[in-house]
Structure 1
């Protein structure tokens, strides 16, 4: 039974999941991994490709020149989380964006780095 002499509570309950940003954190971590791995690997590939002296395909050239731009990927995940039109789906949208960046972006970077090696192997 409630205490009749107690002041009524005016506290507004929190939205469901408001204190659990785990999905956003996982999405940002996926995007950070997608940016971090090429950042660590691309400079050594650049030295290797300069030793080849061969023409490089455009995805490889782009990656060699613009790999620091991959650090915008975590910002994209945070922007999706902040500006998604349905507030109840923002965490989920940020998670799926980060996961898609990892699943698509990292293999694309790997393919761009290994494409010249495979092209040179065909000429032998």
Structure 2
């Protein structure tokens, strides 16, 4: 009897893992890349050149610091904000998936209890 049950249980576990992998793929779509337009790129290049021309005659250390701050303000902070928002959305999706899984587990446990009760009643 156990020789017949083990392959069936293994098959059920494998299919459950396969389904869970499919749910994970559907629940977490790949992030989309966002390219800047040519006009946005030209504006950034122009602003950078303008800033460099304004820094002519300033000590190189101060100029480097100002350029680093400009990069921080223009590039790094917006990228960090976008990453934080993306992480928040992923966390919300994971929370929703966990809640749905918990509900399905509770329903399955209730079904099991009901079936066991019916088996006891029918003998």
What TM-score, normalized to structure 1? Answer: 0.34
Query: Quick one: higher RCO (CA 8 Å, sep 6+), 1 or 2?
Result: 2
